[in-house]
Chains A and B, each alone.
Chain A
Protein backbone atom coordinates (compact mmCIF):
# COMPACT_ATOMS: atom_id res chain seq x y z
CA UNK A 1 0.00 0.00 0.00
CA UNK A 2 1.31 3.40 -1.01
CA UNK A 3 0.16 6.55 0.77
CA UNK A 4 -0.54 9.89 -0.89
CA UNK A 5 -0.48 12.60 1.74
CA UNK A 6 -2.57 15.66 0.96
CA UNK A 7 -1.10 18.63 2.84
CA UNK A 8 -3.11 21.30 4.62
CA UNK A 9 -2.36 24.03 2.10
CA UNK A 10 -1.65 24.00 -1.62
CA UNK A 11 -1.27 27.29 -3.44
CA UNK A 12 0.84 28.53 -6.32
CA UNK A 13 3.00 30.41 -3.82
CA UNK A 14 3.67 27.33 -1.65
CA UNK A 15 3.27 24.61 -4.27
CA UNK A 16 6.15 22.60 -2.80
CA UNK A 17 3.90 21.49 0.05
CA UNK A 18 2.48 18.96 -2.42
CA UNK A 19 5.78 17.03 -2.21
CA UNK A 20 5.85 16.80 1.59
CA UNK A 21 6.04 13.12 2.58
CA UNK A 22 5.29 12.05 -1.00
CA UNK A 23 7.56 10.50 -3.62
CA UNK A 24 4.76 9.74 -6.12
CA UNK A 25 6.34 6.43 -7.04
CA UNK A 26 3.26 4.31 -7.54
CA UNK A 27 4.45 1.23 -9.37
CA UNK A 28 2.26 -1.77 -8.66
CA UNK A 29 0.87 -0.29 -5.47
CA UNK A 30 -2.59 0.25 -4.15
CA UNK A 31 -3.09 3.84 -3.09
CA UNK A 32 -4.42 5.20 0.17
CA UNK A 33 -5.13 8.92 0.09
CA UNK A 34 -4.74 10.67 3.42
CA UNK A 35 -5.89 14.20 4.02
CA UNK A 36 -4.26 16.52 6.51
CA UNK A 37 -6.21 15.98 9.73
CA UNK A 38 -7.16 19.56 10.51
CA UNK A 39 -7.66 21.69 7.43
CA UNK A 40 -7.11 21.49 3.69
CA UNK A 41 -6.94 24.70 1.65
CA UNK A 42 -6.49 23.91 -2.00
CA UNK A 43 -5.89 26.13 -5.01
CA UNK A 44 -7.35 24.69 -8.23
CA UNK A 45 -3.83 23.63 -9.22
CA UNK A 46 -3.93 21.15 -6.31
CA UNK A 47 -7.31 19.82 -7.38
CA UNK A 48 -6.13 19.48 -10.98
CA UNK A 49 -3.00 17.73 -9.80
CA UNK A 50 -4.93 15.05 -7.89
CA UNK A 51 -7.30 14.68 -10.82
CA UNK A 52 -4.32 13.89 -13.07
CA UNK A 53 -2.99 11.42 -10.50
CA UNK A 54 -6.41 9.78 -10.48
CA UNK A 55 -6.26 9.51 -14.28
CA UNK A 56 -2.86 7.87 -13.97
CA UNK A 57 -4.25 5.40 -11.42
CA UNK A 58 -7.20 4.60 -13.69
CA UNK A 59 -5.00 4.11 -16.75
CA UNK A 60 -2.73 1.77 -14.80
CA UNK A 61 -5.52 -0.07 -12.92
CA UNK A 62 -4.25 1.10 -9.54
CA UNK A 63 -6.86 0.89 -6.77
CA UNK A 64 -7.56 3.96 -4.63
CA UNK A 65 -8.93 4.20 -1.10
CA UNK A 66 -9.22 7.26 1.10
CA UNK A 67 -8.99 8.17 4.75
CA UNK A 68 -10.95 11.31 5.45
CA UNK A 69 -11.35 13.13 8.74
CA UNK A 70 -14.98 14.19 8.62
CA UNK A 71 -14.34 17.16 10.89
CA UNK A 72 -12.11 18.90 8.35
CA UNK A 73 -13.83 22.22 7.77
CA UNK A 74 -12.96 22.42 4.10
CA UNK A 75 -14.62 19.11 3.15
CA UNK A 76 -17.69 20.86 1.67
CA UNK A 77 -15.44 23.02 -0.56
CA UNK A 78 -13.41 20.02 -1.73
CA UNK A 79 -16.60 18.06 -2.32
CA UNK A 80 -18.22 20.87 -4.32
CA UNK A 81 -15.04 21.15 -6.38
CA UNK A 82 -15.45 17.47 -7.23
CA UNK A 83 -12.27 16.16 -5.62
CA UNK A 84 -13.74 13.04 -4.00
CA UNK A 85 -15.79 12.18 -7.08
CA UNK A 86 -12.78 12.42 -9.37
CA UNK A 87 -10.71 10.26 -7.02
CA UNK A 88 -13.44 7.63 -7.10
CA UNK A 89 -14.22 8.17 -3.41
CA UNK A 90 -17.66 8.53 -1.90
CA UNK A 91 -18.67 12.12 -1.13
CA UNK A 92 -18.18 12.36 2.65
CA UNK A 93 -20.91 14.85 3.57
CA UNK A 94 -24.45 15.74 2.63
CA UNK A 95 -24.42 19.18 1.05
CA UNK A 96 -27.51 21.27 0.73
CA UNK A 97 -27.22 22.63 -2.77
CA UNK A 98 -27.46 26.40 -3.01
CA UNK A 99 -26.58 29.13 -5.45
CA UNK A 100 -23.04 28.40 -6.56
CA UNK A 101 -22.76 30.63 -9.55
CA UNK A 102 -20.23 33.38 -9.37
CA UNK A 103 -17.86 31.27 -7.30
CA UNK A 104 -16.31 28.25 -8.95
CA UNK A 105 -16.04 25.75 -11.75
CA UNK A 106 -15.75 22.23 -10.28
CA UNK A 107 -13.37 19.65 -11.74
CA UNK A 108 -14.45 18.77 -15.25
CA UNK A 109 -13.05 16.59 -17.99
CA UNK A 110 -12.39 18.03 -21.43
CA UNK A 111 -11.57 15.42 -24.07
CA UNK A 112 -12.46 16.97 -27.39
CA UNK A 113 -12.62 20.25 -29.22
CA UNK A 114 -16.43 20.10 -29.05
CA UNK A 115 -16.36 19.65 -25.26
CA UNK A 116 -14.05 22.64 -25.00
CA UNK A 117 -16.49 24.71 -27.10
CA UNK A 118 -19.31 23.80 -24.75
CA UNK A 119 -17.20 24.47 -21.67
CA UNK A 120 -16.22 27.96 -22.88
CA UNK A 121 -19.91 28.78 -23.38
CA UNK A 122 -20.67 27.96 -19.72
CA UNK A 123 -18.05 30.29 -18.25
CA UNK A 124 -20.07 33.52 -18.18
CA UNK A 125 -23.16 32.04 -16.55
CA UNK A 126 -21.09 30.08 -14.03
CA UNK A 127 -18.82 32.92 -12.99
CA UNK A 128 -21.42 35.67 -13.47
CA UNK A 129 -18.97 37.52 -15.65
CA UNK A 130 -19.84 39.71 -18.58
CA UNK A 131 -18.72 38.80 -22.08
CA UNK A 132 -16.41 41.82 -22.06
CA UNK A 133 -14.51 41.15 -18.86
CA UNK A 134 -14.28 37.36 -19.24
CA UNK A 135 -12.30 37.57 -22.48
CA UNK A 136 -8.97 37.12 -20.78
CA UNK A 137 -10.24 34.09 -18.81
CA UNK A 138 -11.61 32.44 -21.94
CA UNK A 139 -8.36 33.15 -23.74
CA UNK A 140 -6.40 31.32 -21.03
CA UNK A 141 -8.82 28.37 -20.84
CA UNK A 142 -8.80 28.00 -24.60
CA UNK A 143 -5.03 28.14 -25.04
CA UNK A 144 -4.29 25.73 -22.18
CA UNK A 145 -7.01 23.20 -22.93
CA UNK A 146 -6.27 23.16 -26.65
CA UNK A 147 -2.68 22.33 -25.70
CA UNK A 148 -3.99 19.33 -23.78
CA UNK A 149 -6.23 18.19 -26.64
CA UNK A 150 -3.55 18.65 -29.33
CA UNK A 151 -0.31 17.73 -27.59
CA UNK A 152 -0.83 15.59 -24.48
CA UNK A 153 -1.93 12.28 -26.06
CA UNK A 154 -3.87 11.77 -22.85
CA UNK A 155 -6.37 8.96 -23.30
CA UNK A 156 -8.57 10.49 -20.59
CA UNK A 157 -8.34 14.09 -21.81
CA UNK A 158 -7.70 17.07 -19.57
CA UNK A 159 -8.95 18.21 -16.18
CA UNK A 160 -9.99 21.77 -15.47
CA UNK A 161 -11.32 23.66 -12.47
CA UNK A 162 -11.36 27.24 -11.25
CA UNK A 163 -12.57 29.48 -8.49
CA UNK A 164 -13.31 33.16 -8.48
CA UNK A 165 -12.55 35.58 -5.67
CA UNK A 166 -15.04 38.34 -6.20
CA UNK A 167 -13.39 40.73 -3.72
CA UNK A 168 -10.02 40.53 -5.38
CA UNK A 169 -11.58 40.06 -8.84
CA UNK A 170 -9.17 37.20 -9.28
CA UNK A 171 -9.75 33.84 -10.90
CA UNK A 172 -7.56 30.88 -10.01
CA UNK A 173 -7.29 28.11 -12.58
CA UNK A 174 -5.89 24.58 -12.54
CA UNK A 175 -5.49 22.42 -15.66
CA UNK A 176 -3.89 19.00 -15.89
CA UNK A 177 -3.54 15.82 -17.90
CA UNK A 178 -1.92 12.44 -17.47
CA UNK A 179 -0.54 12.41 -20.99
CA UNK A 180 2.99 12.15 -22.33
CA UNK A 181 4.32 15.33 -20.67
CA UNK A 182 6.24 18.26 -22.13
CA UNK A 183 9.52 16.49 -22.75
CA UNK A 184 8.07 13.66 -24.84
CA UNK A 185 5.82 16.08 -26.69
CA UNK A 186 8.67 18.42 -27.67
CA UNK A 187 11.50 15.93 -28.20
CA UNK A 188 10.03 14.77 -31.53
CA UNK A 189 11.17 18.03 -33.14
CA UNK A 190 13.54 19.71 -30.69
CA UNK A 191 16.82 18.95 -29.00
CA UNK A 192 16.15 18.45 -25.31
CA UNK A 193 18.61 17.21 -22.74
CA UNK A 194 16.85 18.02 -19.49
CA UNK A 195 13.51 18.86 -17.91
CA UNK A 196 14.60 22.50 -17.74
CA UNK A 197 15.15 22.47 -21.52
CA UNK A 198 11.62 21.16 -22.00
CA UNK A 199 10.07 23.80 -19.74
CA UNK A 200 12.08 26.63 -21.30
CA UNK A 201 11.19 25.53 -24.84
CA UNK A 202 7.51 25.09 -24.02
CA UNK A 203 7.38 28.68 -22.76
CA UNK A 204 9.44 30.13 -25.60
CA UNK A 205 7.45 32.02 -28.24
CA UNK A 206 7.31 30.29 -31.62
CA UNK A 207 8.15 26.80 -30.38
CA UNK A 208 5.62 24.08 -31.16
CA UNK A 209 5.62 20.35 -30.52
CA UNK A 210 4.44 19.86 -34.13
CA UNK A 211 7.54 21.14 -35.95
CA UNK A 212 11.13 22.23 -35.51
CA UNK A 213 10.37 25.44 -37.41
CA UNK A 214 10.43 28.62 -35.29
CA UNK A 215 6.98 30.15 -35.61
CA UNK A 216 5.23 26.78 -35.80
CA UNK A 217 3.01 25.40 -38.54
CA UNK A 218 -0.08 26.74 -40.24
CA UNK A 219 -2.08 25.40 -37.29
CA UNK A 220 0.28 25.83 -34.35
CA UNK A 221 2.09 29.07 -33.65
CA UNK A 222 3.75 27.90 -30.44
CA UNK A 223 2.33 30.87 -28.61
CA UNK A 224 -0.28 29.51 -26.20
CA UNK A 225 1.87 29.01 -23.11
CA UNK A 226 3.84 32.20 -23.81
CA UNK A 227 0.63 34.26 -23.99
CA UNK A 228 -0.70 32.59 -20.84
CA UNK A 229 2.48 33.23 -18.85
CA UNK A 230 2.51 36.86 -20.03
CA UNK A 231 -1.11 37.34 -18.95
CA UNK A 232 -0.19 36.20 -15.41
CA UNK A 233 2.86 38.44 -15.50
CA UNK A 234 0.96 41.50 -16.72
CA UNK A 235 -1.75 41.10 -14.10
CA UNK A 236 0.96 40.58 -11.44
CA UNK A 237 0.03 37.04 -10.56
CA UNK A 238 1.62 33.62 -10.26
CA UNK A 239 1.88 31.00 -13.00
CA UNK A 240 3.23 27.49 -12.56
CA UNK A 241 3.87 24.61 -14.93
CA UNK A 242 4.99 21.17 -13.75
CA UNK A 243 5.86 18.23 -15.97
CA UNK A 244 8.22 15.29 -15.56
CA UNK A 245 10.62 16.05 -12.73
CA UNK A 246 10.68 19.85 -13.01
CA UNK A 247 8.51 22.87 -12.54
CA UNK A 248 8.70 26.51 -13.57
CA UNK A 249 7.09 29.09 -11.33
CA UNK A 250 6.60 32.71 -12.32
CA UNK A 251 6.90 34.80 -9.19
CA UNK A 252 5.22 38.11 -8.58
CA UNK A 253 7.11 40.91 -10.26
CA UNK A 254 8.41 43.21 -7.49
CA UNK A 255 6.70 46.59 -7.38
CA UNK A 256 9.92 48.45 -8.22
CA UNK A 257 10.55 46.32 -11.34
CA UNK A 258 8.90 46.90 -14.69
CA UNK A 259 7.18 44.01 -16.45
CA UNK A 260 9.05 42.65 -19.44
CA UNK A 261 7.79 39.84 -21.66
CA UNK A 262 11.01 37.90 -22.08
CA UNK A 263 11.55 35.47 -24.92
CA UNK A 264 13.47 33.23 -22.54
CA UNK A 265 11.44 32.25 -19.50
CA UNK A 266 14.62 31.93 -17.45
CA UNK A 267 15.02 35.72 -17.73
CA UNK A 268 11.72 36.20 -15.90
CA UNK A 269 11.36 36.78 -12.20
CA UNK A 270 10.89 33.05 -11.54
CA UNK A 271 12.09 29.84 -9.94
CA UNK A 272 12.76 26.49 -11.53
CA UNK A 273 12.98 23.29 -9.52
CA UNK A 274 14.34 20.01 -10.77
CA UNK A 275 14.74 16.47 -9.40
CA UNK A 276 11.18 16.55 -8.15
CA UNK A 277 9.01 13.43 -7.90
CA UNK A 278 8.20 12.37 -11.47
CA UNK A 279 4.81 13.60 -12.66
CA UNK A 280 3.31 11.85 -15.66
CA UNK A 281 1.64 14.52 -17.76
CA UNK A 282 1.46 18.27 -17.43
CA UNK A 283 0.02 20.54 -14.77
CA UNK A 284 -0.60 24.28 -15.10
CA UNK A 285 -1.86 26.72 -12.49
CA UNK A 286 -2.49 30.40 -12.95
CA UNK A 287 -4.12 33.33 -11.19
CA UNK A 288 -5.48 36.18 -13.28
CA UNK A 289 -7.34 39.35 -12.57
CA UNK A 290 -10.34 40.14 -14.66
CA UNK A 291 -9.41 43.32 -16.41
CA UNK A 292 -11.37 45.98 -18.14
CA UNK A 293 -11.53 46.30 -21.91
CA UNK A 294 -8.67 48.73 -22.36
CA UNK A 295 -6.26 46.71 -20.25
CA UNK A 296 -7.08 43.55 -22.19
CA UNK A 297 -6.63 45.26 -25.56
CA UNK A 298 -3.28 46.75 -24.53
CA UNK A 299 -2.19 43.43 -23.05
CA UNK A 300 -2.89 41.51 -26.25
CA UNK A 301 -1.03 44.14 -28.25
CA UNK A 302 2.03 44.11 -25.97
CA UNK A 303 2.25 40.30 -25.80
CA UNK A 304 1.82 40.13 -29.57
CA UNK A 305 4.67 42.60 -30.06
CA UNK A 306 6.90 40.55 -27.76
CA UNK A 307 6.03 37.36 -29.67
CA UNK A 308 6.78 39.01 -33.03
CA UNK A 309 10.09 40.43 -31.84
CA UNK A 310 11.16 37.06 -30.52
CA UNK A 311 10.09 34.99 -33.52
CA UNK A 312 10.90 37.34 -36.39
CA UNK A 313 13.50 39.63 -34.78
CA UNK A 314 11.74 42.57 -36.39
CA UNK A 315 9.43 45.35 -35.32
CA UNK A 316 7.98 45.85 -38.80
CA UNK A 317 4.35 46.78 -38.38
CA UNK A 318 1.73 46.32 -41.12
CA UNK A 319 -1.11 47.79 -39.04
CA UNK A 320 -1.63 50.81 -41.29
CA UNK A 321 -1.77 48.64 -44.40
CA UNK A 322 -4.27 46.13 -43.04
CA UNK A 323 -7.79 47.00 -44.17
CA UNK A 324 -9.90 47.19 -41.00
CA UNK A 325 -13.36 48.45 -41.93
Chain B
Protein backbone atom coordinates (compact mmCIF):
# COMPACT_ATOMS: atom_id res chain seq x y z
CA UNK B 1 0.00 0.00 0.00
CA UNK B 2 1.31 3.44 -0.95
CA UNK B 3 -0.11 6.49 0.80
CA UNK B 4 0.63 9.78 -0.93
CA UNK B 5 0.66 12.65 1.56
CA UNK B 6 0.73 15.24 -1.24
CA UNK B 7 -2.54 13.89 -2.65
CA UNK B 8 -4.40 14.62 0.57
CA UNK B 9 -2.51 17.57 1.99
CA UNK B 10 -0.69 19.41 -0.80
CA UNK B 11 2.90 20.62 -0.25
CA UNK B 12 2.49 21.61 3.41
CA UNK B 13 1.10 18.71 5.41
CA UNK B 14 -0.50 20.21 8.50
CA UNK B 15 -4.19 19.28 8.50
CA UNK B 16 -4.62 16.93 11.44
CA UNK B 17 -8.11 15.96 10.30
CA UNK B 18 -6.55 14.58 7.12
CA UNK B 19 -3.86 12.83 9.16
CA UNK B 20 -6.53 11.25 11.35
CA UNK B 21 -8.48 10.12 8.30
CA UNK B 22 -5.42 8.45 6.74
CA UNK B 23 -4.57 6.83 10.06
CA UNK B 24 -8.03 5.45 10.73
CA UNK B 25 -9.06 4.55 7.19
CA UNK B 26 -5.79 3.35 5.65
CA UNK B 27 -2.87 2.98 7.99
CA UNK B 28 -4.35 1.09 10.94
CA UNK B 29 -6.70 -1.19 8.93
CA UNK B 30 -3.86 -2.12 6.55
CA UNK B 31 -1.46 -2.78 9.42
CA UNK B 32 -3.95 -4.79 11.48
CA UNK B 33 -5.79 -6.72 8.78
CA UNK B 34 -3.17 -7.49 6.14
CA UNK B 35 0.49 -8.44 5.81
CA UNK B 36 1.12 -5.68 3.32
CA UNK B 37 4.02 -3.33 3.74
CA UNK B 38 3.03 0.33 3.91
CA UNK B 39 4.83 3.12 2.09
CA UNK B 40 4.09 6.68 3.19
CA UNK B 41 5.22 8.87 0.33
CA UNK B 42 6.12 12.53 0.98
CA UNK B 43 6.99 13.29 -2.64
CA UNK B 44 6.38 17.02 -3.40
CA UNK B 45 5.74 17.76 0.30
CA UNK B 46 7.99 20.63 1.44
CA UNK B 47 7.16 20.53 5.07
CA UNK B 48 4.88 19.32 7.79
CA UNK B 49 4.25 19.92 11.48
CA UNK B 50 5.00 17.82 14.49
CA UNK B 51 1.26 17.78 15.21
CA UNK B 52 0.45 16.33 11.78
CA UNK B 53 3.09 13.58 11.97
CA UNK B 54 1.98 12.78 15.52
CA UNK B 55 -1.67 12.45 14.45
CA UNK B 56 -0.59 10.29 11.51
CA UNK B 57 1.71 7.67 13.07
CA UNK B 58 2.04 8.05 16.84
CA UNK B 59 -0.88 5.76 17.69
CA UNK B 60 0.50 2.90 15.58
CA UNK B 61 3.93 3.05 17.22
CA UNK B 62 2.45 3.40 20.71
CA UNK B 63 0.33 0.29 20.21
CA UNK B 64 2.69 -1.95 18.25
CA UNK B 65 6.15 -0.63 19.09
CA UNK B 66 9.26 -1.55 17.11
CA UNK B 67 7.44 -4.16 14.98
CA UNK B 68 5.94 -1.34 12.96
CA UNK B 69 9.41 -0.38 11.70
CA UNK B 70 9.58 -3.60 9.70
CA UNK B 71 6.29 -2.93 7.90
CA UNK B 72 6.46 0.80 7.23
CA UNK B 73 8.64 2.84 4.90
CA UNK B 74 8.87 6.63 4.55
CA UNK B 75 9.60 7.67 1.00
CA UNK B 76 10.88 10.98 -0.47
CA UNK B 77 11.22 12.77 2.88
CA UNK B 78 13.35 15.90 3.09
CA UNK B 79 15.56 16.42 6.14
CA UNK B 80 12.98 18.41 8.15
CA UNK B 81 10.29 15.76 7.60
CA UNK B 82 12.78 13.02 8.52
CA UNK B 83 13.46 14.92 11.77
CA UNK B 84 9.77 15.19 12.56
CA UNK B 85 9.13 11.50 11.86
CA UNK B 86 12.14 10.45 13.92
CA UNK B 87 11.06 12.64 16.83
CA UNK B 88 7.53 11.27 16.84
CA UNK B 89 8.70 7.64 16.58
CA UNK B 90 11.32 8.12 19.31
CA UNK B 91 8.83 9.42 21.85
CA UNK B 92 5.96 7.16 20.79
CA UNK B 93 7.81 3.92 21.51
CA UNK B 94 6.87 2.58 24.91
Contacts and interface: CB of A to CB of B under 8 A. Distances in A.
Interface residues of B, number: 44
Nearest to A205: B91
Given A113-B17, A146-B16, A317 B80 contact: no
Contacts of A266: none
Given A219-B16, A324-B82, A146 B90 contact: no
B17 to A, nearest CB: 5
Interface residues of A, number: 43
Contacts of B66: 318, 321
Nearest to B87: A304
A135 B46 contact: yes
Given A146-B51, A223-B51, A322-B89, A113 B15 contact: yes
A324 B77 contact: yes
Contact of A223 (B16, B20, B50, B86): B50
A135 B62 CA distance: 28
A209 interface: no
Interface stretch (A52-60, A93-101, A157-165, A308-316): A308-316
A318 B69 contact: yes
Given A113-B15, A121-B10, A223-B54, A322 B69 contact: yes
B74 A322 contact: yes
A227 B79 CA distance: 17
5 contacts: A135-B80, A139-B49, A304-B86, A323-B72, A324-B74
Interface of A: 113, 116-117, 120-121, 131-132, 135, 138-139, 142-143, 146, 215-216, 218-221, 223-224, 227, 293, 296-297, 300-301, 304-305, 307-308, 311-312, 314, 316-319, 321-325
> 6 closest A-B pairs (Cβ-Cβ)?
A304-B87, A218-B59, A135-B47, A142-B14, A297-B79, A221-B54
